Structure 1
């Protein structure tokens, strides 16, 4: 059916999908610099407020395993328009929130839409474009997807500084409505639907498994790792997820086809994806906390600091997409991770006098590194798969990313909280005359530095894995590379 689509139709289809994806990504990252403000507004701790981010990814992590089924059962139009309606309803609920629970519920409803749209977009690309053109297309999509996080912190900071936090959600609704109207008018279907059956047992297993793992890691920030609830949910999550995987291997009608991991390049990119996602999400949470709690910057100032690096990232994405088509994944991954390692090394010794400009330059270095990895990582993994496994590869990719993002955020916040508490105790013992405000600021700065040491270690591990990526294949080698599987 995809052959019937003209180049103009392809472009219209991609523009509508990318616009929806842009709004979804903008919404996901819009609250990062607002976290500190929400702690004061709703009187909650850092470990509790992180659920606005972790809860969003929790729903994504639970939902994404069934997206391969959804893309078989429902049309492109049905899935996309449904995802936009979830985003709209969740935004309205958040805008009307009178307590933290209502705000969190709205965020989770928004996440249902976000969980569908990205795998849908990736699968559409696999249907419409051959592997040799996907790097450039993914680079263009990367520009739109990365431009959302680029403007989100500054936009969020401005709204919090000069308007009400409710405008973070009110301002989103008219744009979502416009996309829904455009989708009804212009969006066409890409692939045929089938009467696929949903195995409820596997849905329950994946939901309990992934949900328990994410809940356990996320709760560790507030309850502590020794808490019975944390230990129990993580163990239950691992056991149930293992049962889900075993059930998948024995089934003919797969909910999430794990045979994608037989392809060595896909498996390797998945491991790198985990580490990069942990680093990226953790930095987006940790840096604003350091700037606002440790240094006293406003949300708007914190957002402005993040803007130049994210804009550079967005504009480099189409460039790195073309470089991927020309040079392959390995040189891009190695180059990108060198930039990331340098950026993490630069913030393992934060102080009260670390300058605003220094942090801005450091963030630019980090985002340059990410631009060499983010979209090429997805392209390399999906290109390693045969076309019939494309939707499953996309679903696995997004499941891995959501799990890694939630776990990474939770672990880094836990490291930050534990270390900040420890430093606060030590500082109070060493200097009894220190004020409570000064104690809190110093503890926050030292806790942030310790958390960045953990992220530096992750960067080195990702660099080692990137060195195992094969070089770009050409000619006959390239045509046979997709058939290479693990022995």
Structure 2
């Protein structure tokens, strides 16, 4: 794209070294996302070590999601106020500081602060990465590059639990962060050397009221769903107040953005039909993926009585295959477009969810591995093609807003999917226990839990069927703006 392409501060890409810039994002993103999922496997150690309850420990996830829910919506504005290098370096410094604080954390409160600081780094890095890729990579190559980004986003969370399981067998949970720290520092040094400015700050006007409404809106929704999923229950006053306040604030935020001349988040991106369809596909997939990613480890450790490390190993092949296939699917998207990839992919995911809804205490590990691989193959066919096709339809001046909307609603979808899945799991478990006489029998308790897992996967099936219907409306975008 030349410097005059959109008048929005885009620099001349002929002077950019594209490959080193992409490597900087891939390395930084991989290490950051690895440390996030690795900590999830250490929750039991943290509960024992700090003497806290499960609901308290879950704040390590809730606080992280909450920070993303507050910061990511305004990332479109942030991207227009600072240069690419400034934001990249700031995001890495935040991740490094958060990781160091976590590594030395003597109390739960300190670890909680570390998680929030880490989330600041992620909230800056992810929208910046997607926006930069859209600006420096021509449309006919975007599928493959976004596939490589997809490899990072899916592969890092896949290997995180397995590696943390190995660490926790011999070392304390602090070492999850000590191992990540030098890698983050190396990523920062590499970025300082090779990262270039892709955009020039245009510094649009900051509307404080919009930021306040965005914070209350997205923060309230994420907090409400997360709290409901962690045991607060849907009838909890905290959950109800959070959801109502968040909903009202989002309505006011939307009205304000549509009536402002320079909105902080340009919702006119929704006028582009393929962006909206792609966004809906991504939201459905994120809800299905994250609900299954919380259900499967619980099932493996409770119903099948596997260790943390063994459970992580069982889910590793699917994650690796998904990572390997992401660039391949990106290449197929560049050649053939998204329609058949997404239709076939979401159908495959739906089939795997039907399989998961039949699992029991007698289900073999091989069956679980096979189903998980099938699910992750389907996901690789859906996520990046739908996302890339949708963003391709936007004009360059809407790239920051489009990436902000995509990343924000992914976080919200993750919170919703997880909360609903856990809620259905708890309800199914309770309903089963009401039908048995010996409620103290450990076997009945495990049978009840397995019944709850099956019910929760029915929710995932419904989500995927909705996804199949949406996929029928996807059409390949013909990119008209110049690169």
1:103 Cα deviation (Å)?
2.6
Partner of 2:361: 352
Q: Is residue 455 of structure 2 the alignment partner of residue 447 of structure 1?
A: no
1:37 Cα deviation (Å)?
4.5
The number of aligned residues is: 472
Question: Residue 295 of structure 1: SS of its match in structure 2?
Answer: coil
Q: Could you report, residue by residue, the CA deviation over 1:46-94 in whole angstroms, capped at 9, with x for unpaired residues?
A: 5544433333222112111111111111111111111111111211222
Counterpart Cα distance in 1 of 2:268 and 2:127: 18
Q: Is residue 438 of structure 2 the alignment partner of residue 431 of structure 1?
A: yes
1:254 Cα deviation (Å)?
1.3
Structure 1 segment 159-238 matched on structure 2, within 5 A: 159-221=167-229, 222-238=231-247
Match of 1:272 among 274, 281, 284: 281
Counterpart Cα distance in 1 of 2:463 and 2:208: 37
Partner of 1:412: 421
Counterpart Cα distance in 2 of 1:132 and 1:21: 24
1:44 Cα deviation (Å)?
5.0
Match of 1:55 among 63, 67, 75: 63
1:4 Cα deviation (Å)?
5.0
Tell me, yes or no, if the aligned pair for 1:33 and 1:285 is still in contact at 8 Å: no
Tell me, yes or no, if the aligned pair for 1:321 and 1:375 is still in contact at 8 Å: yes
Tell me, yes or no, if the aligned pair for 2:391 and 2:403 is still in contact at 8 Å: yes
Partner of 2:8: none
Match of 1:398 among 402, 407, 410: 407
Q: 1:98 to 1:154 in 2, by over 3 A?
A: same
Unaligned 5+ residue runs, structure 1?
Answer: none
1:424 Cα deviation (Å)?
3.5
Question: Residue 122 of structure 2: SS of its match in structure 1?
Answer: helix
Question: Residue 372 of structure 1: SS of its match in structure 2?
Answer: helix
1:205 Cα deviation (Å)?
0.7
Match of 1:469 among 474, 477, 480: 474
Counterpart Cα distance in 2 of 1:453 and 1:31: 28
Match of 1:74 among 50, 69, 82: 82
Q: 1:358 to 1:344 in 2, by over 3 A?
A: same
Counterpart Cα distance in 1 of 2:35 and 2:381: 24
Counterpart Cα distance in 2 of 1:411 and 1:102: 29
1:24 Cα deviation (Å)?
1.9
Match of 2:102 among 94, 98, 105: 94
1:291 Cα deviation (Å)?
1.1
Counterpart Cα distance in 2 of 1:54 and 1:343: 28
Structure 1 segment 99-110 matched on structure 2, within 5 A: 99-110=107-118
Counterpart Cα distance in 2 of 1:329 and 1:44: 47
Partner of 1:117: 125
Q: Could you report, residue by residue, the CA deviation over 1:351-409 in whole angstroms, capped at 9, with x for unpaired residues?
A: 21111111111110110011101211220110011111111111111011111111211
Unaligned 5+ residue runs, structure 2?
Answer: 4-10
Counterpart Cα distance in 2 of 1:45 and 1:357: 34
Tell me, yes or no, if the aligned pair for 2:392 and 2:479 is still in contact at 8 Å: no
Counterpart Cα distance in 2 of 1:50 and 1:336: 32
Partner of 1:458: 463
Counterpart Cα distance in 1 of 2:84 and 2:445: 50
What's the RMSD between the two structures over aligned residues? Answer: 2.0
Q: 1:166 to 1:418 in 2, by over 3 A?
A: farther
Tell me, yes or no, if the aligned pair for 2:360 and 2:450 is still in contact at 8 Å: yes
Partner of 2:430: 421
Counterpart Cα distance in 2 of 1:162 and 1:349: 36
Question: Residue 196 of structure 2: SS of its match in structure 1?
Answer: coil
Match of 1:13 among 1, 18, 21: 21
Counterpart Cα distance in 2 of 1:347 and 1:230: 30
Q: 1:4 to 1:342 in 2, by over 3 A?
A: closer
Counterpart Cα distance in 2 of 1:250 and 1:308: 49
Q: 1:161 to 1:440 in 2, by over 3 A?
A: farther
Greater shift in the superposed pair: 136-145 or 174-183: 136-145
Match of 1:363 among 351, 369, 372: 372
Q: Could you report, residue by residue, the CA deviation over 1:184-203 in whole angstroms, capped at 9, with x for unpaired residues?
A: 22211111112333211111
Tell me, yes or no, if the aligned pair for 1:47 and 1:413 is still in contact at 8 Å: no
Partner of 1:389: 398
Tell me, yes or no, if the aligned pair for 1:32 and 1:288 is still in contact at 8 Å: no
